[in-house]
Structure 1
């Protein structure tokens, strides 16, 4: 399995690992079709005293009771694992050595859908979580930067796996920016640990 690494400052501080062909084309196509049937919703978020629609669709699947709150305003309650998502979780765990209890899906319907600069530092994931991200569908720009630093652009391909390693959320920010270019739907599945819920 081909592996590329970003931020190779030293062997002990690698923060992001990328597998451009983690899934075969047939596997990625089949998973993309499965994801079309997931329970997507457009949530509302409170920012700067205003309530607005999240600029993408979201869903969550995982272990019972592993609720996920982000931005102190959006609460996601997981649906039970589907068989394909559970199988993918186990495959990622086998490849990376990291365990996951939830998967959050983001559906970017067009270039207008996005997610701004942020880090995933919610307490429910525990200290220094690893987050594994599967990309499906249209290729979109993913940017990551050290806090206070300059961004590195990365193009996430259909069937690829990006792993943000432990420590990344404490030192780096990431985003999927809007684009004026014509793009079709992209689905992103982010597998995450969780310290609560039922095991």
Structure 2
């Protein structure tokens, strides 16, 4: 089985390409009847989590034999992260990541996953709150209160030190592009020609 494309994607840190790549390679391998003893199961599962594709991650996990799960502790550790994501246990994701000694194949990928996850959580907080306490941000972001405050302030939020409350800086709403009369005229003519 040739896993050079998977290794290249990991080396290039092209993590968003890994899930479809692994899916295709695994199907090709299975269709040839080749063994999958050396398959990078943990990388494959983490690739789906990296894309926030929880349904595919669950399907992949359920498709694995108990023998495969028992033989690969790193795979089980990645699945713990998936379970936390599925259950919306935001702080549990960080605990699951920090609770395992990741091998060299996954260490950089795990770091990239956490960065991506933190950005998603920060965007959720930005859209859901106008003000939020520092301890709550720290909880959701898996950081110390000081680090969470610094992260928020660096991203444009403001801190009221006396109340330990952060004021969220909302992203500016995109304005709709106005359609000029000439474009509207061309669209009308096109529709007219299609109807007649």
Greater RCO between the two (CA within 8 Å, min separation 6)?
1
Structure 1 length-normalised TM: 0.23
Structure 2 length-normalised TM: 0.23
More strand by share: 1
